[in-house]
Amino acid sequence: MKTVRKVLAFIFLSFICIISLVPFIWVMFSSFKTNSEILSGTVGLPTGFHISNYVTAFKLAPIGTFYINSILVALFATVLNLIICSLAAYVVVRCQFKAKGIITLMFSLGLIIPGAALIQPLYTILSGAHLYNTLSGLVLVYTALGMPTTFYVMVSYIKTIPYSLEEAAYIDGSGFVRTFLQVVLPITRPAFATAGVIQFLFAWNEFQFALTLTGETGKRTLPIALYYFKSAFASDYGAMFAATVVVAIPSIITFIILQKQVVAGLAAGSVKG
């Protein structure tokens, strides 16, 4: 009985690993094949490392530009999101004021709104504010959509910091802002790391608003590159494979390197659900 269960567990876990890894590995191998190889032999290894697909991919779609856009948008959306949420979370935890309930509600409201509902309204609002088809527009949207998670992570973390530290700073004559900057922020670093990684990955991977809030190629982010291939260059399979690998790799590497932060962030961020 026990061995049967062990064997079943082994088979099940192997199956899980296969379905998670094999599609990606197959696409990676295929990205080094020539178009004719792709069309004939479907399962086998490539005959050699043809990096020509990558060259074509970068030529067909301005992947370089997309990359830079993605990095800029994700970076600014993360920094802005962390600043805004840490400020708000700090006063919500440490200060007394009437609107506290409303503020907390406001920061978590984003959770119950599926992004798809906002496609048209955000398109209208950003157009009206002359932010349609700009990277700044995307940065603002991502910053706002990421607020619930970051706010929650920050609030839970700041709650664990003993107030005596700040009290000591006040007694030493430090002001409100200085205490926040010099006493609280340094201790809150782990929360910044956790929330920051999650926010960065969210902004890096986001597709829907990147598609609907930008119009021209020069302003688009990496996930849109794939849509570009699907609609415009669907016959150049090799380049399509190469583009998929180029888009997927950074997220995978980020996750493997920062696994601890990602897991902590997901665990903390999910509780609010």
Partner 1 sequence: MKKNTKWVVLFLLPGVLLFSFILLSSLFVLTGSSFTDWFIGSKITFVGLKNYIYLFTKDKVFIESIKNTLIWIGLQSTIHVTIGVIVALLLSKKKWYSSAVRTIFFIPNIISSAALGMLFLCVMNPQFGLINGLVSRITGDRFVQNWYNDPKTAFLSVTLTWLPYAGLVTILVMAEMSAISEELFEAAKIDGATSFQIDMQIILPLMKNIIGTCVVLAATSMLQKLDVIMMTTSGGPGSRTMNMPMYIYKTVFSNNNYSLANTQGVILIVLGVVVLKIIRKVFGMDKED
Task: Identify which range of 45-53, 55-63, 154-162, 240-248 contacts partner 1 by CB under 8 A.
Answer: 240-248
Distance CA 222, CA 69 (A): 8
Report in angstroms how near the CB of residue 27 gets to partner 1 at its nearest: 6
For partner 1, the binding residue among 47, 127, 160, 270 (CB under 8 A) is 270
Q: Does 130 bind partner 1 (CB under 8 A)?
A: no
Could you give the C-alpha distances from 94 to 119, 152, 165, in angstroms and in order?
Answer: 36, 15, 12
Could you give the C-alpha distances from 222 to 13, 99, 211, 255, in angstroms and in order?
Answer: 32, 40, 10, 17
Build a one-symbol-per-residue string for 28-47: x at contacts with partner 1 by CB under 8 A, - elsewhere: --x-------xx--xx----
**3-state SS assignment for residue 269:** helix
For partner 1, the binding residue among 7, 208, 218, 257 (CB under 8 A) is 208
Q: Per the structure block, which two tokens stand in for 257?
A: 């390197």
Task: Identify which range of 6-14, 51-59, 154-162, 181-189 contacts partner 1 by CB under 8 A.
Answer: 6-14
Nearest to partner 1 of 51, 252 (CB atom): 252
Distance CA 94, CA 87 (A): 11
Distance CA 126, CA 122 (A): 6
Report in angstroms how near the CB of residue 96 gets to partner 1 at its nearest: 5
The closest of 164, 95, 96 to 172, measured between CA atoms, is: 164
96-115 residues in contact with partner 1 (CB under 8 A) are 96-97, 103, 106-107, 109-110, 112-115
For partner 1, the binding residue among 7, 55, 83, 165 (CB under 8 A) is 83
Binding residue count for partner 1, defined by CB under 8 A: 96
Report in angstroms how near the CB of residue 173 gets to partner 1 at its nearest: 14
For partner 1, the binding residue among 49, 64, 95, 164 (CB under 8 A) is 95
Distance CA 213, CA 134 (A): 8
Report in angstroms how near the CB of residue 237 gets to partner 1 at its nearest: 7
For partner 1, the binding residue among 71, 72, 118, 193 (CB under 8 A) is 118
Q: Does 204 bind partner 1 (CB under 8 A)?
A: yes
Query: 221 with 70: CB under 8 angstroms?
Result: yes
Distance CA 206, CA 221 (A): 9
